[in-house]
Amino acid sequence: MKVKATIIFLVILLVGSLLVNKSYAGSQTACAIWLCLPAGFPGSECSAPHREFKHRIKKGKPPLPNLAGCSSSPNGSYSTGRYTMGYEPFVPCKAGYTLKTARTGGYFARSAQVGVCYANRCANYINYPRAGDGRCQNHSATPRPKPSFVKMWVDGGYLGQFFY
């Protein structure tokens, strides 16, 4: 009877330990994304985190692991981190201009997104004046070489917007 009770106790203990997630730790490579991404994945030390970052995106996983699983203070508390992702295909226009984007190409043609910076006084016209008619100044918007971005916060503090 004692042996049976001991076996049942050990089985319950084993199953309980498997069900309870004691650690939030991510892999060292995944956690390094938090350090390398803001710097643009510089140097050979960040090549593995860069591969992991791209792998996570391709597999539909969150691009950054949970920060609590990557950091803890000596007293055992964890840092909190969050991020938002986005896509910004053009560099913002200089002061006094408003960015307008449109798709080009017909039904069968490949469409591409184009951006034009219109003077603020002209940006709300339904039919935009042509660049050469002298009524409104405009110029082509500058496309970003890396248009996808991540905005990051750690413990409520904004770290910035990082393009990749």
Q: Do the beta carbons of residue 117 and residue 131 sit within 8 Å?
A: no
**Is residue 38 domain-resident?**
yes
Q: Is pTM, for the whole model, over 0.75?
A: no
Element (H, E) at 150: strand 148-154
79 and 115 part of one domain: no
**Is residue 7 domain-resident?**
no
56 and 113 part of one domain: no
Of the candidates 97, 151, 148, the one whose C-alpha atom is nearest the C-alpha of residue 119 is 97
Per-residue pLDDT of the chain (164 residues; tens, 9 = 90+): 554 443 443 334 334 443 333 334 468 899 899 889 888 899 889 999 999 999 999 999 888 888 877 876 566 677 788 889 899 999 999 998 989 887 765 555 555 788 989 888 776 665 555 544 556 778 899 999 989 999 988 888 898 998 88
154 and 102 part of one domain: no
64 and 136 part of one domain: no
68 and 109 part of one domain: no
Question: Structural domain tally of the chain?
Answer: 2
Segments forming the whole domain that contains residue 116: 97-140
113 and 76 part of one domain: no
